Amino acid sequence: MRRILCFIFLWGFFIFFFNYSSLAHARTIIPSQSFIQEIRLRFRDFLKVRSGLLELPIVIDNEIRIDSRGIASLSDYVKYFADRAHKEMNFDRKKLANILKNNSNVPLFPADLVDKGLREGNFNTLIPSFLITRDFIEAKISFLREVRIKRELIQYHKTMIGVERLTLSLVGKVLEKESGTLSHADFVDYYRRYQETIVHYRRQFNKDYHTAARGSGSIFERISAVFIPRTQALGADIGFGGLITLIENCECEGDLEISLRTVGVTSLSPLHISIATLSSPLFYQYKLLAMGTWFLGFYNPGVYTCSTAAAYCYPSSAGVGRITTTGTSL
């Protein structure tokens, strides 16, 4: 409790110092928005410690590219990731064919694999899939480190990389468990804390993303925006919601093509979601895609081809947009 009160005092002191005039200079010094944002995010991370959540692995400034001409908004950040990560990641996508999949042919990523292992009481057959997903996440982190961002986005960018590194730690805990160096009880406790930590950061990301994208509004407006597309609300991003009726694996593109029976005023079928987005806990909010389940989020409109035969890469269909984020901030 003393640490929390001390931190609150210091935080208040910084805000006071940078907002009030100096007697010597007789002028007001106003902190930059990026400074205030960084203090706010660090204060939020400090408070989460008391709830028993896991600490995100540290990402230092010289690991990433900070550029005055880089990405400045969360909306542009998620669009950039959705459109380019799956194409520019240095990873052999043919390896994805060897990852275990669910009944809808959707790849299982670390949290899904852990759920399966705990449910069936056996992790041994899952290890090859864990190793492939580990390589995939490492390639994703390498891609993220090359993304050029403005300084005002630095904490969100570090959170994105930190969450991915935390997922790598989860894979490491699985390997420790299988080697006998970590007890089953300790692993289960770690996984519980991992899930709670992911929910914490995802919930805050969704809140900040939708607040920045839409601005303030009534609860009714925020709910209706999920089901009724509003291009003015999110720039190019449009809300969607519906029941999944078909899932196709676009092997050449590294995408999944999803057909939806939609809720709202238009038909939005089909949409694409990249494997990179699907495997990112900060952007993807659902346990796992499956036919017959409800699905909602935001997509960036455009024409995207789907090639189901990797040997030939001949487009068999085309989607109307690529999904950028899923779920709701409510």
From first to last of its 330 residues, the chain has per-residue pLDDT tens of 455 545 455 545 444 444 443 334 434 444 555 555 555 555 555 554 445 899 999 999 999 999 999 999 988 998 899 889 988 999 988 888 899 998 888 899 999 999 999 999 999 999 999 999 999 999 999 999 999 999 999 999 999 999 999 999 999 999 999 999 999 999 999 999 999 999 999 888 888 877 765 544 443 344 344 444 433 333 457 888 888 888 888 877 778 888 877 655 455 568 888 889 888 888 876 666 888 888 888 888 887 788 876 566 766 667 778 888 886 543
DSSP 71-123: E-SHHHHHHHHHHHHHHHS---GGGGGGS-B-TTSPBP-HHHHHHHHHHHT--
Q: What is the pLDDT of residue 262?
A: 64
pLDDT digits (tens, 9 = 90+) for 282-320: 887 666 688 888 888 888 888 778 887 656 676 666 777
CB distance 296 to 326 below 8 Å: yes
Q: What is the pLDDT of residue 236?
A: 52
Q: How far apart are the first and last CA of the chain?
A: 30
Distance CA 322, CA 316 (A): 17
Domain boundaries, the chain: 2-50, 61-214, 226-326
Tokens 């907002």, residue located? 19
CB distance 112 to 287 below 8 Å: yes
Distance CA 274, CA 294 (A): 18
Distance CA 306, CA 316 (A): 6
Taking the whole predicted model, whether its pTM rises above 0.95 is answered as no
Q: What is the pLDDT of residue 233?
A: 39
Q: What is the pLDDT of residue 188?
A: 97
CB distance 242 to 304 below 8 Å: no
Structure tokens at 49: 């410690």
